[in-house]
Amino acid sequence: MATIVITDIAWPSPAIETGLARGAGHDILLAESDEHLLSLAPRADAFLTCFRRVPAEVLDAADRCLTVARYGVGVDNIDVARATDLGILVSNVPEFCTEEVADHTLALALAALRNLLPATDATRAGGWTPDAPFPTRRLRGLVFGVLGFGATGRAVAERAAAFGFEVVVESRALAADPGAAPASVARVVDRDELLRLADVVSLHVPLNADTRHLVGARELGMMKDGALLINVARGGLVDTEALRPELEGGRLRAALDVTEPEPLPSDHWLRSAPAAIVTPHVAFASDGSLVELATKATSNALAVLAGRRPPTIVNPEVLASDLLRAIPQ
């Protein structure tokens, strides 16, 4: 019997994971804190992780561990390099929530551009007036910029085009082959041009060393007055402190499902910024996506424990390593 340690979950219980694991003859343990995770590490044959960091310290202590399976797409909370050094397979669940994240992106755009929150707040306070602190925008003809044109970026572009936005994207692949651009894309541009043109800038890229603070003071300064920045990818893509004067001065607006730091401290300035809409990293969530996520992530871990390759391996180079702890067939 192997032991699967769950570092954290973003749903009520690990019932799906427990059922699958016990059906395969394995045990499940749930860490309650960073310190608890470290204490459980020596017992772990596999980790399932959502948002909690799985640093080198934990991996070094997990001398039985064969695999780390991420609940989700990005793996920036896992020290993948150290896992590779130790011969530990890292897997993820790509595209499980493409539709949900694309829907949430457009929901944020519509809420901001149509001033839904100020209007709702005014009505709840007893008012009945069309006045709002920001002008309501006509969507048709506005430029919607998509940074990152993977599955989610494509789904966002389709939705934005359906609302009448002119969609511009940054994509090296499409820049090399413009004829491959889908009908939803009006133009393929470089990053700086996108920032200058777009009324809405939406981020859909992974977080890594090259993309951390992809949007900083320089990039924010290039954006149009009144533009909206949407981030549903990773909080570290945006330099939060560089964003602060742009929001507090009223030049830009933001709609964020992810932040840096995350979760936001209770007194963080973003929580009360009138030019920002902030949701608590829920773009991925729906009844269907959470079931799919828990099932696929657990199945990835179970595959490695059974000596099989999971469908998605983040660090395939580990397969050729003499240090590989498990040799999937």
- Residues with a catalytic annotation lie at 234, 262, 281
- The DSSP symbol for 180 reads G
CA 87 to CA 324: how far, in whole Å?
4
- Reference 256, options 235, 274, 226; nearest CA is 235
User: Is 159 strand, coil or helix?
Assistant: helix
User: Crossing angle, helix 98-113 and helix 116-124, to 10 degrees?
Assistant: 60
- Reference 109, options 177, 31, 202; nearest CA is 202
Within the chain, residue ranges assigned H as helices are 15-23, 34-40, 56-61, 80-85, 98-113, 116-124, 151-162, 172-176, 191-197, 217-222, 240-248, 287-305
User: Is 129 strand, coil or helix?
Assistant: coil
Asked whether 237 and 215 are in contact (CB, 8 A), the reply is yes
Asked whether 132 and 123 are in contact (CB, 8 A), the reply is no
Terminal C-alpha separation, the chain? 20
Question: CA 47: distance to chain centroid?
Answer: 20
